[in-house]
Structure 1
């Protein structure tokens, strides 16, 4: 039965690896959501700032103040661009995390399939052995009756 205990140990390890991959995937998903919220906040802030520039421009604005507004909006545009790059990187990491989790699940499933197959074979072996024992007992009883 050493095979069964080894297989049980492999299943436990695979289950732990699958759980760890799932935890990492959840962390990656949360980090990606946070990054997406940051991007949305940057978009909202840029929109608000652009609207403020329009309102202030209607009342009159010095060239210097206009330049400062435009420069700040350009800085926000750059931050938005950087955040988009971060999201792309996070999407790639998230996909790797999904792939890793799926690979671990397949590995666990393979071990569980082996265990099920092994248990079926053992049950069949036990049933055959029991049948042979019953046949022997019946044969002895039959012979013992003087036949």
Structure 2
């Protein structure tokens, strides 16, 4: 059965909406991957900080030189700066993810609305075709009755 004309005219719009929804979903997936990677790096930095602090405890028991202490403080400061920057990166990626999710939801809702509209048009066309068919059958049966009477 061929698509009714109103529904068939919407086919290119539906195709475009499907492509846009797929692209938005792909982008959403990429953003989620980037968030996961940024969060993983942040966890690594926190783990590294914990390891380094444990090294301080171990080395401190044996006594440390002033040079070792200065190097430790400098490196600790750099590590804390890296953690702050990575926190900002995680937040930035999460914002991107939020925006990508909202865009995908909009594209998905539009696509579903178009699909429902096409289905409505197809249903209306089917009902109209059924009515036309019933009318034809009624006319045929009327003609047959008239012929039998004549």
For the superposition of Structure 1 and Structure 2, which TM-score range results when normalised by the shorter chain?
A: over 0.9
Aligned to 2:39: 36
Q: Report the counterpart of residue 128 of structure 2 in structure 1.
A: 125
- C-alpha separation in 1, matches of 2:141 and 2:9: 38
Question: Tell me, which stretches of 5 or more residues in structure 1 are unaligned?
Answer: none
Q: Who is 2:140 aligned against?
A: 137
* Inter-partner Cα distance in structure 1 for 2:5 and 2:121: 12
Correspondent of 1:101 among 101, 104, 118: 104
Equivalent of residue 95 in structure 2, options 92, 96, 116: 92
Q: CA RMSD in A?
A: 1.1
Say whether 1:71 aligns with 2:80.
Answer: no
- Contact 2:28–2:97 at 8 Å: present in 1 too? yes
Normalised by the size of structure 1, how large is the TM-score? 0.96
Equivalent residue, structure 2, for 1:22: 25
Poorly superposed stretches of 4+, deviation over 6 Å: none
**Structure 2: 5+ residue stretches without partners:** none
1:110 is the counterpart of 2:94: no
The corresponding residue for 2:7 is 4
Partners of 1:79 and 1:11 lie apart in 2 by 47
Distance 1:70 1:40 in 2: 21
Distance 1:131 1:97 in 2: 50
Shift, 1:26, TM fit:
0.5
TM-fit CA distance, 1:2: 4.1
Aligned to 1:50: 53
Name the count of aligned residue pairs: 147
Q: Helix, strand or coil for the counterpart of 2:19?
A: helix
Q: 2:6 touches 2:121 (CA, 8 Å); kept in 1?
A: no
